[in-house]
């Protein structure tokens, strides 16, 4: 897969994410997609397969009233890409023991994408 195709898949995924468009996110993912989210080096969430990913995305969608991921740099490898991400989201509900609804969450992180023949096969988010 060439860099242009990889960039297009990442752009489509992030645009769909920013618009809470779960179907749009899923269309660029391989049915066997693997997803991992790390915060402070600790695995916080994972999903294996498109059905688990959908469930995770639906669940996470309810936590935010708005959210935006913005790619600040993108580096390609033979079968992958690494995106540096600026993220902000506004909580739609209180997080138990944490921030309250309406709070703004701002993070910098990295998203690592792995590609198969036509789609994204793995995403690792680190913040």
Residue 40: phi and psi, rounded to 5, are 60, 30
Give the per-residue pLDDT at 114.
98
Give the per-residue pLDDT at 96.
83
Residue 108 sits in a domain whose CATH number is 3.10.450.50
Give the per-residue pLDDT at 103.
94
Query: By residue range, what is the domain housing residue 100?
Result: 3-126
Residues of the chain with pLDDT under 70: none
For the chain, how many structural domains are there in total?
A: 1
CB 23 within 8 A of CB 3: no
Give the per-residue pLDDT at 105.
92
Give the per-residue pLDDT at 79.
87
Give the per-residue pLDDT at 97.
86
Give the per-residue pLDDT at 57.
96
* Ramachandran class of 40: left when φ > 0, alpha when ψ lies in -120 to 50, beta otherwise: left
| DSSP secondary structure code for residue 119 in this structure | S
Give the per-residue pLDDT at 98.
85
């Amino acid at each position: 897969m060439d860099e242009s195709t990889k960039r297009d898949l990442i752009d489509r995924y992030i645009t769909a994410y920013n618009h809470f468009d779960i179907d749009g996110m899923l269309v660029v993912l391989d049915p066997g997609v693997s997803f991992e989210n790390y915060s402070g080096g600790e695995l916080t969430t994972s999903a294996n397969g498109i059905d688990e990913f959908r469930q995770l995305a639906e669940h996470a969608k309810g936590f935010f009233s708005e959210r935006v991921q913005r790619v600040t740099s993108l580096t390609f490898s033979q079968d992958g890409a690494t995106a540096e991400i600026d993220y902000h989201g506004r909580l739609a509900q209180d997080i138990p023991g944490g921030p309250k609804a309406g709070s703004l969450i701002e993070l910098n992180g990295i998203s690592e994408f792995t590609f198969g023949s036509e789609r994204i096969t793995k995403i690792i988010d680190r913040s």
